[in-house]
């Protein structure tokens, strides 16, 4: 995945490939040309196999589940039937002393089950979910397939025979098309909703946005937790995710169900949920407390604009998503900060006692903002040593950062003293360059972060998966010194959880309390 905030206006997948370097760019190119099939396959072979999945078949179609979720592949026989459960709950099973519940995926997805001998053991998988194990019965286990996660394509609404929100993607491998199921979404309740503290922090809305069955009444989450409990509502109860609807309308019913659960979040419009999903699918933004206010306000504006133009509020494609996101980004994204913005940032910088002032700039892209920040810090903390740690996981962008070339007209006044003539044109002086350390780094990876006074992290948090957002915020909080400053995107808000204190009205910045 790619968390570079500069990807705002371009297609992320293309960007990612762009960063891949010559080898894969070539492979990509050949791939388009066709007729070079073997050549491109060979080039792809040395590409990164970073996603392995266990594949299996259900009603003749191929599916995959992330191998990290699979504890083991098993043959299930002799289940203990549990009365009064939903039809897809096959029973409970004794796995070496641990009782796990078994779900028949074919019944869950409303697919035909081949008749078979009752006593014959059936193929299945034991999945390791967040906190528990669950067994699923499938037609046949195939094998383990390794692919590059970049080749996974987002699900398309046309795969309606399984609720689209259960599908994390589609991938082609050796001329077979695998539908990758998202085990967490199918079987797990959105864990954010289960943590009472977080729930109160972020309000119920966020929980309601959670995908899958979880948000719906009578969901199988309850079965999972108490497989043997009696369930009087099962006969009359509402079917989760259209499980019992056998007609061709099943897909759309499910989608409507899912959006209905999000209605609470939007307040007035069920299409809000689609927009949230769309943004996540296109890798633009992940809905969370950080960007909730903006997203709602932008949605209202967007829907009004679109309706007056006679269009639907839904995001029909990447282009729509880009358009939707346009106002999100902070001023001077991916370029040198203008004088006014720089002055506003300068105004929120407090005095620090230390002799060394460290700053951290994850998601720095080509480094324009890191240079701007380094210059401001040097100016603000004269006599102290300023060090900016800037990182990005886009190799191509970050590679250009250390030797950035500028055009004279784009250099604002406050940066003038830090510019110098270099071999390739006007660049930054060695003095400024030496105060910045550019790293090829992925913020999602474990790494040591030095004690930091200022963190510049604009429009990056919102692009991460929602659980990672919280992790990164905690990481930032821990890295900052007491009284340290976090500068976020102009539309990003931190929760009032006692950790942060708002500073400066002109720049969205927070002080560690």
Partner 1 sequence: MRVEYINPFVESAYNVLKEVLNGDVKRGELFLKSTAMPVLGVAAIVGLAGDVEGRVVFDMTRETAVNIASAMLEAMEMEPITTLNDMGRATINELANMITGQAVTKLHDLGFKFDLTPPAILTGDNMELSDSGVEALIVPMEVPQGKIEINVAIRERA
Distance of alpha carbon 64 from alpha carbon 50, whole angstroms: 15
For residue 312, CA distances in Å to 11, 155, 157, 277, 320 come to: 22, 21, 16, 15, 11
Contact 370, 401 (CB under 8 A): yes
By CB under 8 A, is residue 393 in contact with partner 1?
yes
The smaller minimum CB distance to partner 1, of residues 353 and 446, is found at: 446
Residues pairing with 140 in the sheet: 57
The nearest distance, CB 25 to partner 1, in angstroms, is 9
User: How near is the Cβ of 181 to partner 1 at its closest, in Å?
Assistant: 23
Residues 24-83 that bind partner 1 (CB under 8 A): 24, 43, 45-48, 50
Footprint on residues 402-431 left by partner 1 (CB under 8 A)? 402
- Residue placing its CB nearer to partner 1 in the complex, 171 or 276: 171
CA atoms of 241 and 255, how far apart (whole Å): 8
Question: Quick one: DSSP state of residue 144?
Answer: E
SS3 content of the chain, % helix, strand, coil (to 5): 40, 25, 35
Distance between CA atoms of 345 and 339, rounded to whole angstroms?
10
The whole-angstrom separation of Cα 447 and Cα 8 is 26
Identify the helix (H) or strand (E) that includes residue 485.
Answer: strand 480-488
Minimum Å distance from CB 148 to partner 1? 8
Q: Is 474 in the site for partner 1 (CB under 8 A)?
A: no
Q: Taking contact as CB under 8 A, which single stretch among the options 165-173, 265-273, 434-442, 458-466 is the one that binds partner 1?
A: 434-442
Residues pairing with 370 in the sheet: none
Instruction: From 117-125, 158-166, 375-383, 446-454, give the range in contact with partner 1 by CB under 8 A.
Output: 446-454
Beta partners for 73? Answer: 125
Q: Which is nearer to partner 1, 313 or 401 (CB)?
A: 401
Binds partner 1 by CB under 8 A, chosen from 326, 395, 405, 513: 395
DSSP state of 398: H
Q: Which of these, 119, 84, 317, lies nearest to 223 by C-alpha position?
A: 84
Q: How far apart are CA 91 and CA 105, in angstroms?
A: 13
Query: Is residue 447 close enough to count as binding partner 1 by CB under 8 A?
Result: yes
Residue 18 as a binder of partner 1 (CB under 8 A): the answer is: no
Nearer to partner 1, 224 or 387 (CB): 387
CB of 334 to partner 1, least distance (A): 17
Size of the site for partner 1 (CB under 8 A): 28
| DSSP reduced 3-state for 176 | strand
Tokens of 391: 């990182």
- Closer of 11 and 253 to partner 1 (Cβ): 11
Q: List the x/- string, 159-178, binding to partner 1 by CB under 8 A.
A: --------------------
> Least separation, in Å, of the C-beta of 17 and partner 1?
9
| List 208, 401, 460, 486, residue binding partner 1 (CB under 8 A) | 401
Q: Which residue has the tokens 């050796």?
A: 174
**Residue whose CB is less far from partner 1, 289 or 401:** 401
Q: Among 450, 474, 501, 513, indicate the residue that binds partner 1 (CB under 8 A).
A: 450
- Supply the DSSP string of 351-384, one letter for each residue: ---SSEEEEEEES-TTSHHHHHHHHHHHHHTTTS
* Residue range at the interface with partner 1 (CB under 8 A); choices 171-179, 252-260, 265-273, 396-404: 396-404
Binding part of the chain for partner 1, among 21-29, 222-230, 260-268, 346-354 by CB under 8 A, reads 21-29
What is the SS3 string spanning 252-301?
HHHHHHHHHHHHHHHCCCCHHHHHHHHHHHCCCCCCCCCCHHHHHHHHHH
Q: Does 21 bind partner 1 (CB under 8 A)?
A: yes
> Rounded to the nearest whole angstrom, what is the least distance from the CB of residue 444 to partner 1 in the complex?
8
* 440 in contact with partner 1 (CB under 8 A): yes
Give me the phi and psi of 420, to 5 degrees please. Answer: -150, 160
Q: How far apart are CA 341 and CA 439, in angstroms?
A: 25
Q: Is 146 in the site for partner 1 (CB under 8 A)?
A: no
CB of 236 to partner 1, least distance (A): 47
Q: Please choose, out of 104-112, 114-122, 212-220, 391-399, the segment that lies near partner 1 by the rule CB under 8 A.
A: 391-399
Nearer to partner 1, 23 or 204 (CB): 23
Least Å from the CB of residue 466 to partner 1 = 20
Task: Calculate the alpha carbon distances from 433 to 3, 386, 393 in Å.
Answer: 24, 11, 20
Closer by beta carbon to partner 1, 305 or else 451 = 451
Interface residues with partner 1 (CB under 8 A)?
20-24, 43, 45-48, 50, 393, 395, 398-399, 401-402, 437-442, 445-448, 450
């Amino acid at each position: 995945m790619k968390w570079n905030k500069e990807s705002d206006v371009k297609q992320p997948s293309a960007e990612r490939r762009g960063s891949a370097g010559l080898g894969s760019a070539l492979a990509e190119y050949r791939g388009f040309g066709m007729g070079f099939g073997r050549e491109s396959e060979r080039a792809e072979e040395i590409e990164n196999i970073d996603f392995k999945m266990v594949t299996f078949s259900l009603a003749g179609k191929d599916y995959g589940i992330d191998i990290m979720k699979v504890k083991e592949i098993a043959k299930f026989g002799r289940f203990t039937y549990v009365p009064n459960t939903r039809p897809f709950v096959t029973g409970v099973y004794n796995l070496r002393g641990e009782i796990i519940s078994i779900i028949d995926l074919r019944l869950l997805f409303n697919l035909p089950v081949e008749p078979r001998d009752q006593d014959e053991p059936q193929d299945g998988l034991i999945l390791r979910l967040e906190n528990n194990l669950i067994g699923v019965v499938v037609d046949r286990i195939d094998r383990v397939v390794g692919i590059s996660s970049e080749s996974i394509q987002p699900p398309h609404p046309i795969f309606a025979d399984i609720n689209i929100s259960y599908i994390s993607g589609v991938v082609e491998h050796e001329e077979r098309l695998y539908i990758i199921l998202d085990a967490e979404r199918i079987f797990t309740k959105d864990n954010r909703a289960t943590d009472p503290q977080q729930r109160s922090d972020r309000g119920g809305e966020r929980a309601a946005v959670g995908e899958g069955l979880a948000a719906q009444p009578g969901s199988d989450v309850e079965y999972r937790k108490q497989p043997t409990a009696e369930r009087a509502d099962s006969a009359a109860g509402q079917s989760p995710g259209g499980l019992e609807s056998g007609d061709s309308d099943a897909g759309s019913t499910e989608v409507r169900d899912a959006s209905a659960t999000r209605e609470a979040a939007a307040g007035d419009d069920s299409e809000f949920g689609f927009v949230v999903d769309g943004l996540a699918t296109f890798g633009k933004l992940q809905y969370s407390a950080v960007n909730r206010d903006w997203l709602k306000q932008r949605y209202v504006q967007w829907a009004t604009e679109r309706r007056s133009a006679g269009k639907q509020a839904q995001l029909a494609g990447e282009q729509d998503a880009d358009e939707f996101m346009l106002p999100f980004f902070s001023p001077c994204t991916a370029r040198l900060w203008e004088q006014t913005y720089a002055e506003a940032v300068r105004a929120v910088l407090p005095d620090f006692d230390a002799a060394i002032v460290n700053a951290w700039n994850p998601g720095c892209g080509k480094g324009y903002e890191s240079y701007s920040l380094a210059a401001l810090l040097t100016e603000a903390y004269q006599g102290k040593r300023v060090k900016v740690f800037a990182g990005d996981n886009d190799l191509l962008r970050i590679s250009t950062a250390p030797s950035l070339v500028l055009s004279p007209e784009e250099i604002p006044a406050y940066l003038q003293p830090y510019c110098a003539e270099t071999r390739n044109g006007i660049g930054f002086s060695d003095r400024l360059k030496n105060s910045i350390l550019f790293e090829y780094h992925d913020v999602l990876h474990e790494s040591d972060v030095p004690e930091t006074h200022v963190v510049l992290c604009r429009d990056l948090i919102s692009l991460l998966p929602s659980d990672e957002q919280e992790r990164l915020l905690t990481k930032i909080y821990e890295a900052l010194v007491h009284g340290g400053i976090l500068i976020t995107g102009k539309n990003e808000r931190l929760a009032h959880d006692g950790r942060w204190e708002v500073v400066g009205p002109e720049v969205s910045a927070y002080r560690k309390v």
